[in-house]
Amino acid sequence: MKNVTDIFGTMVFNDSVMKARLPGEAYRQVQLSIKLGKGLDRSTADVVANAMKDWAIEKGATHFTHWFQPMTGITAEKHDSFIAPADGGRIIMEFSGKELIKGEPDASSFPTGGLRATFEARGYTAWDPTSYAFIKDDTLCIPTAFCSYGGEALDKKTPLLRSMEAINRQGMRVLRLFGNGDAGFVKTTCGPEQEYFLIDEDVFLRRPDLVYTGRTLFGAKPPKGQELGDHYYGMIKPRVAAFMAELDEELWKLGILAKTEHNEVAPAQHELAPVFMTTNIAADHNQITMELMQKIAKKHGMVCLLHEKPFAGVNGSGKHNNWSMTTGTGANLLEPGETPYENAQFLLMLCAVIQAVDDYQDMLRLSITSASNDLRLGADEAPPAVISVYVGEELEEILNAIERGEPYGGKEKELIKVGVHALPKLPKDTTDRNRTSPFAFTGNKFEFRMPGSSSSISGANVVINTAVAESLRQYANELELSDNFENDLHELIRRVIRKHKRIIFNGNGYGEEWLKEAERRGLLNLRTTPDCAHAYLEQKNVELFIRHSVYSEIELAARYKMKLDNYCKVLRIEAETMLHMLRRDILPAVSAYSAELANAAISKQELGIECSFEKDGAAHISRLISSCCDVARELDAAIADVSALPENYTRAVAGRDRLIPTMTRLRSLVDELEVHTSAEYWPMPTYGEILFSVN
């Protein structure tokens, strides 16, 4: 094992490299541009680009790329080499400030939601100096935002950066009211826990459903799954351990703080948690992490599945989004304080999050929605589609006491008045965490547990940041006018608790009971993507994003289109894949097997030998085959009908209501066939073979 401190960040053009390699003035300019978002002038950009190039070439790089995050959810890059022709047939290695700052990828095939007509198909990429350049595969990668020529965001990064600015603006207003104006800035932090499956590559390649859709569309329940819980935190198998060691090393080189690696609940399921970071950088890091997981798995003869629900009946994969707010002086704003004033500030921040989650339940649900995550939410191991906040019993009692103006505490019960009394020490015990809550306070941060494993964390954080910025804006507007701060603060907090406590739920989020209770409380239960997509167009949400300059109305409309478009496409690909597998592999195999059984039955019958297994088996399989054919024809018709619908939304609803139920029926017939078919005939690896394929 190499020395971690020696390799950490060696492939990153980070602050210390910049300090060492840039002339003082250029370094100062870059710092300003990072802190204030100011663009660099051309000559400074040239100096920075040249230093970057020299550094990258020393590290073996030959190419550079603007690395960006289009709406496909994965990252994109177009490599250019540094070479430029020189006299005498020679070449020189060149990289200009212009190339650093702006790129013009021919990006006409990325999803745009109608934001660009093809005649103006070019978008442009613009350097994000807040995220360091790095070297991957001998290529200098420049993190960039991706926009249309009109300046509309076509990516996941741009709105996230805008939302970071929004929370900074409003957060600072509130901090000033508490006398903390010297905190410098407010930013959010994020630590996304990444879950994934590792399976053997040979097994993967023999499953067209995994290849085409990332999940199994068929598969009978294996005799052993996750019921013994013997995989969770269990011994890590040698192949997986080798993978994790290499992954850690590659991530560390890129300055990514991979911290914990362990086995998850399902067989073949694992998790990686990084140390938290500034949210927009954490988002970049998570994208790199997902990419490296897939690449490194391949090197070890395995495939990394990032799909939210690769196996029915087995836990799916999420990406818990741990989130908090920090100041420029390093204070965590969700950390309960020592003094009454700190506590008052903490309570107001807590209220800001509670209100944000309640006011924008629909946007939060939408921010994590996809055809694949719809399969996971509410499926026993993941939170339901209803959003609620867990604050823990003690904190809830404190909030209740404040709201009702009642005493709180043990022996010497006290009336809690915000800003006057110190709160009792809040427990930060990790053991009593409620793991069924979609949005849980875990001592000094919130953990949003709904995001899926395959998607970018940007969307969720854009919503959390902006919605919390809006709560803070309202509080600042009110309190800035106050001439009795303590009193008005107390009243404000009471009012917020009263209005938004319906979103607080400390019980079991997985139970049926909660769904009924949530309905009584008037909370939203948006089960599927078509149910929640409309939130992009709701007036209150449009106003929110425009007010904080995070999305324009046009950008929201484009995202609405893209969301539904993607949903429709995924459903269609899955339906087509099912039919493909059924007709090319499954039906021929089971038909041959039933014929063999029938022939055996005839031979045995002639000899007067008992042949009920062969005869009944052949009959049962034949019946299932003909039912499969019927349902397959229905699915054909459903695909044709759904595809003919003219409009995204109606197509999405029809896809959900016609394709999915038909696919479910087809699947259960095929799974029944699997159980009754000889292993020799079954044309693809079973769940057992896939889930236990890595040793």
* Helix-helix angle 539-547:553-581, to 10 degrees: 120
Q: Which two tokens stand for residue 216?
A: 């199994």
Task: Give backbone dihedrals phi and psi of 304, rounded to 5 degrees, phi first.
Answer: -95, 120
Q: Which two tokens stand for residue 658?
A: 């016609």
Rounded to the nearest whole angstrom, what is the least distance from the CB of residue 442 to ligand ADP in the complex? Answer: 7
264 binds ligand ADP (CB under 6 A): no
Half-sphere exposure of 653 (CA within 13 A, CB side): 9
Task: Give backbone dihedrals phi and psi of 273, rounded to 5 degrees, phi first.
Answer: -120, 130
Rounded to the nearest whole angstrom, what is the least distance from the CB of residue 390 to Mg ion in the complex? Answer: 12
Q: Which two tokens stand for residue 280?
A: 């927009």
Give whichever of 276 and 687 is closer to ligand ADP, judged by the CB atom.
276
Closest to 185 in 3D by CA, of 326, 342, 279 = 326
324 binds ligand ADP (CB under 6 A): yes
Rounded to the nearest whole angstrom, what is the least distance from the CB of residue 260 to Mg ion in the complex? Answer: 10
Q: Which entry of Mg ion, ligand ADP, none binds 323, CB below 5 to 8 A by partner kind?
A: ligand ADP
Rounded to the nearest whole angstrom, what is the least distance from the CB of residue 528 to Mg ion in the complex? Answer: 25
Give whichever of 193 and 531 is closer to Mg ion, judged by the CB atom.
193
531 binds ligand ADP (CB under 6 A): no
Q: Which entry of ligand ADP, Mg ion, none binds 191, CB below 5 to 8 A by partner kind?
A: ligand ADP
Rounded to the nearest whole angstrom, what is the least distance from the CB of residue 443 to Mg ion in the complex? Answer: 12
Give whichever of 445 and 501 is closer to Mg ion, judged by the CB atom.
445
| Number of neighbours of residue 565 by Cβ within 10 angstroms | 17
Rounded to the nearest whole angstrom, what is the least distance from the CB of residue 286 to Mg ion in the complex? Answer: 14
x/- letters, 429..458, toward ligand ADP (CB under 6 A): ---------------xx-x-----------
381 binds ligand ADP (CB under 6 A): no
Instruction: Work out whether strand 389-390 and strand 439-441 pair parallel, antiparallel, or are unpaired.
Output: parallel
Rounded to the nearest whole angstrom, what is the least distance from the CB of residue 258 to ligand ADP in the complex? Answer: 10
Q: Which entry of Mg ion, ligand ADP, none binds 373, CB below 5 to 8 A by partner kind?
A: none
Please identify which residue in 144, 287, 322, 529 interacts with ligand ADP, judged by CB under 6 A.
322
Instruction: Work out whether strand 269-274 and strand 139-148 pair parallel, antiparallel, or are unpaired.
Output: unpaired
Helix or strand or coil: residue 324? strand
Rounded to the nearest whole angstrom, what is the least distance from the CB of residue 378 to ligand ADP in the complex? Answer: 20
Give whichever of 273 and 325 is closer to Mg ion, judged by the CB atom.
273
Long-range contacts for 239-246 (Cβ within 8 Å, ≥24 apart)?
Answer: 239/300, 239/301, 239/302, 239/694, 239/695, 240/198, 240/270, 240/694, 242/300, 243/198, 243/296, 243/297, 243/300, 243/302, 244/270, 244/272, 245/1, 246/296, 246/299, 246/300
- The 3-state secondary structure of 170-210 reads HHHHHHHHCCCHHHCCEEEEEEEEEEEEEEEHHHHHCCHHH
Residues of span 58-117 touching ligand ADP by CB under 6 A: none
Residues of span 131-190 touching ligand ADP by CB under 6 A: 189-190
Rounded to whole angstroms, the Cα distance separating 459 from 160 reads 7
273 binds ligand ADP (CB under 6 A): yes
Q: Is 572 exposed, middle or buried (CB count within 10 Å of its CB: 0-12, 13-18, 19+)?
A: middle
Q: Which entry of Mg ion, ligand ADP, none binds 189, CB below 5 to 8 A by partner kind?
A: ligand ADP
Give whichever of 320 and 651 is closer to Mg ion, judged by the CB atom.
320
191 binds ligand ADP (CB under 6 A): yes
274 binds ligand ADP (CB under 6 A): yes
Give whichever of 268 and 457 is closer to ligand ADP, judged by the CB atom.
457
Those residues whose C-beta lies under 8 Å from the C-beta of residue 124, and which sit 6 or more positions away, are 102, 103, 104, 105, 146, 147, 149
320 binds Mg ion (CB under 5 A): yes
Q: Which entry of Mg ion, ligand ADP, none binds 187, CB below 5 to 8 A by partner kind?
A: none
275 binds ligand ADP (CB under 6 A): yes
Output the CA torsion sign for 419, 420, 425, 427. negative
333 binds ligand ADP (CB under 6 A): no
Q: How far is CA 653 from CA 499, 643, 650, 659, 660, in A?
A: 33, 12, 5, 10, 10
Rounded to whole angstroms, the Cα distance separating 151 from 514 reads 44
Q: Which two tokens stand for residue 574?
A: 């899955």
307 binds Mg ion (CB under 5 A): no
Rounded to whole angstroms, the Cα distance separating 73 from 460 reads 13
**Beta-bridge partner residues of 348:** none
Give whichever of 144 and 456 is closer to ligand ADP, judged by the CB atom.
456
Closest to 660 in 3D by CA, of 684, 685, 635 = 635
Give whichever of 160 and 272 is closer to Mg ion, judged by the CB atom.
272
| Residue sitting closest to Mg ion (CB) | 320
Give whichever of 285 and 320 is closer to Mg ion, judged by the CB atom.
320
Q: Which entry of Mg ion, ligand ADP, none binds 506, CB below 5 to 8 A by partner kind?
A: none
Applying CB under 5 A, the site for Mg ion has a residue count of 2
In the chain, the N- to C-terminal Cα span, in Å, equals 22
Give whichever of 193 and 248 is closer to Mg ion, judged by the CB atom.
193
Rounded to the nearest whole angstrom, what is the least distance from the CB of residue 367 to ligand ADP in the complex? Answer: 17
Measure the CA dihedral 542/544/547/548, to 10°: -120
Rounded to whole angstroms, the Cα distance separating 161 from 500 reads 28
Give whichever of 219 and 383 is closer to Mg ion, judged by the CB atom.
383
Please identify which residue in 14, 62, 81, 332 interacts with ligand ADP, judged by CB under 6 A.
332
Do 372 and 307 form a contact (C-beta atoms < 8 A)?
Answer: yes
Residues of span 565-584 touching ligand ADP by CB under 6 A: none
Task: Give backbone dihedrals phi and psi of 59, rounded to 5 degrees, phi first.
Answer: -90, 5
Give whichever of 214 and 318 is closer to Mg ion, judged by the CB atom.
318
528 binds ligand ADP (CB under 6 A): no
Q: Is 516 exposed, middle or buried (CB count within 10 Å of its CB: 0-12, 13-18, 19+)?
A: exposed
Q: Is 96 exposed, middle or buried (CB count within 10 Å of its CB: 0-12, 13-18, 19+)?
A: middle
Half-sphere exposure of 34 (CA within 13 A, CB side): 18
From the list 36-44, 114-122, 271-279, 675-683, the region that binds ligand ADP by CB under 6 A is 271-279
Rounded to the nearest whole angstrom, what is the least distance from the CB of residue 276 to ligand ADP in the complex? Answer: 3
Applying CB under 6 A, the site for ligand ADP has a residue count of 17
561 binds Mg ion (CB under 5 A): no
Q: Which entry of ligand ADP, Mg ion, none binds 599, CB below 5 to 8 A by partner kind?
A: none
Rounded to the nearest whole angstrom, what is the least distance from the CB of residue 432 to ligand ADP in the complex? Answer: 12
Q: Which two tokens stand for residue 214?
A: 């990332």
Rounded to the nearest whole angstrom, what is the least distance from the CB of residue 394 to ligand ADP in the complex? Answer: 19
Rounded to the nearest whole angstrom, what is the least distance from the CB of residue 664 to ligand ADP in the complex? Answer: 32
What residue ranges bind Mg ion (CB under 5 A)?
193, 320
What residue ranges bind ligand ADP (CB under 6 A)?
189-191, 193, 260, 273-276, 320, 322-324, 332, 444-445, 447
